[in-house]
Structure 1
Amino acid sequence: MPLRGSSPLVRPAGSGRADGAGTKQGGGGGPATRTASRGARAERLAPYVLVAPAVLILVTLRLWPLVLGVNYSFTGDGADNGTPVGLGNYLELAGDPLFRTALRNVGLLVLLLPVAVAIPGLLATFIYLRVPGHRVYRGVYFFPAVLSPVIVGAIVNLMLGFDGPVNAALGTVGVGPVDWLGDPGIAMFTVTGVHVWATFGMALVVFLAGFSTLDASLLDAARVDGASLGQVVRHVIIPGLTRTIQFVFVTTLIGMLTSMFGLLFVMTSGGPEGSTYLPEYYIWHQQGQLNRPALASAASTVLFVVMLVVGLAQITLLRRAGRQD
């Protein structure tokens, strides 16, 4: 029975705090909860906001022109400009001996690609293992990458001329002069070799960056076990640089198929007898010399498909090789 003068509504101690807590929970959260929710939402959206400008540039300057080029490849040239011709341009490409030569040269580049990747990979290995003079070698190997293809082509033309210093040096050992740029059976190998020499500096930098992620304890363990250099490369370095090797393979192939125009233009101009034609040079010839943009668009589409298929095939093979190791 309540005391006289006291309120009959007196609550037990702590009941106010319990009610307050219940009210706060039932009210849907306070300012701190709403702030945390907004922060989490902003954190989820931040990657998309940061990537959006790059995606917009890629779509505007790459994907949309690609779609327009594929669409344009199904139209005609000259009097049939803008008129749909179906697969007419692609059928013409299939019957053009110059384009078939260009595709054969693409196959040759694919076969030579492992050599083009192995050279900077081995040089990066020697630099990483700190062979005597590795600091000097690093600068010397990268120097050709900063030269313009036009300059490289002009210098090589002087050196590989029929009466040039290279043939003069060969003559001193009894080897007759070689027509490095005039023989259809040799010219493509010559241009490819010059391109590999002039561009492998970038691949060398990528390999050195990959070596920085390699676990040095594995190399130390291999040395303690008495492994030879070949065994270290096969069982330690290659498995540890699988992703780097995949990247270098793809970028080197793209460079071979899309960045040799300068050398081809200066050194051979597609000759002799069209033996050094590549799809990019064929595209320029059709567009810039013969004013046939629709046929050039069809050749560009074929080049894109070839690069995509070969690149995906290389990545698949390298991944399988990495799993087996």
Structure 2
Amino acid sequence: MNKKKVYSTWFLVPALTIFLVFFIIPMVTSLFFSLTVWDLKSFTFCGLDNFKTFFGERSLSISVRNTLIYAFMTSGLKVVIAFFIALFLTSKIRTKNFLRALVFFPNLVSAVAIGIVFKALMHPSKGLINAALEAIGIAGPNWLGDTNLALFSVIAVDVWKGVSISTVIFIAGITSIDSSYYEAASIDGATRWQTIRHIVMPLVRTSTNTIITLSLIGGLRCFDLIWAMTKGGPGFATDVLSSVVYKQYASGFYGLSTAGNVIMFILIAIIAFPLQRFLNRREVYN
């Protein structure tokens, strides 16, 4: 019996080795170097000074606020918009297969490419968006140059790109609902909205939870789209944790950038794990 246990345990060794090498060791190493001032040759222990500097300077601490705004807004908007698009694409329309392909298209393009395209579209004087607004007599704003508007402009682009995969997840959830639920609702005289509220929404909660979790974590660690569109500007208006980490590392402040990585990891952990437990308790199984 003991030999069988030992034999089966060996199957865990490859997975545990990969987990140790690519997760545990880098995590412990990052935590150590976040407490130091280091370069590629040597290091000096400085305690919590990197974290004090990070939260003490407005240019760095503002990235935490921007990260939270970005993550929660993109996650919430993707859930709401994708749900209603999925409802439409699972209804009895002739062109739904074509429309599903059209909705999914943004997910096939890289975030960097989308960022470059929308940066051109949102140009204050040469961009197509402002040109279209001007044609109907509206003066378009400086989408990416206004410190009060830039972050929300990037959020809108992120939602446009990310709503596609969220819609696909919702479509899978809606189509998996047993038709007997709809038949019972019809017999009881339920309206379309009552059917959506009391049948569809509870039974796609698993899909909703998946989208919330994935989009929230993706928003907390987003970098490529923001960097392609604004590089964290104007000023620090669109700086998020990942862009600040990159800037500090590129400037040679390796200890400070490592501290930023640790802060990002802790932030994701304290939000994602409790949220996942809460969402799992609310699931309704079909």
TM-score tier (shorter)? 0.7 to 0.9
Aligned to 1:274: 236
Aligned to 1:5: none
Aligned to 2:219: 256
In the alignment, is residue 177 of structure 1 matched against residue 125 of structure 2? Answer: no
Structure 1 residues 1-325: aligned runs within 5 Å: 53-77=14-38, 81-112=42-73, 113-163=75-125, 164-258=127-221, 260-288=222-250, 290-319=251-280, 321-322=282-283
Aligned to 1:3: none
Percent identity between the aligned chains? Answer: 26
Counterpart Cα distance in 2 of 1:110 and 1:237: 26
TM-score after normalising by structure 1: 0.78
What is the Cα deviation at residue 81 of structure 1? 4.5
Q: Which amino acid aligns with 2:216?
A: L
Counterpart Cα distance in 2 of 1:53 and 1:78: 33
Cα deviation, 1:162-216, whole Å, max 9, x if unaligned, reads 1222112112332212100000111101111111211222222322333344223
TM-score after normalising by structure 2: 0.87
What is the Cα deviation at residue 55 of structure 1? 4.0
Cα deviation, 1:130-166, whole Å, max 9, x if unaligned, reads 4342111110111111112221112112211112221
Change (3 A) 1:79 1:139: closer
Change (3 A) 1:106 1:223: farther
Aligned residue-pair number = 282
Higher alpha-carbon Rg: 1
Counterpart Cα distance in 2 of 1:230 and 1:312: 33
**RCO greater where, 1 or 2, for CA within 8 Å and sep 6 or more?**
2
- Whether contact under 8 Å (1:249, 1:314) holds in the other structure is no
Q: Which amino acid aligns with 1:271?
A: G
Aligned to 1:23: none
Task: Give the superposed CA RMSD.
Answer: 2.7
Greater CA drift, 220-229 or 137-146: 220-229
Counterpart Cα distance in 1 of 2:69 and 2:49: 27
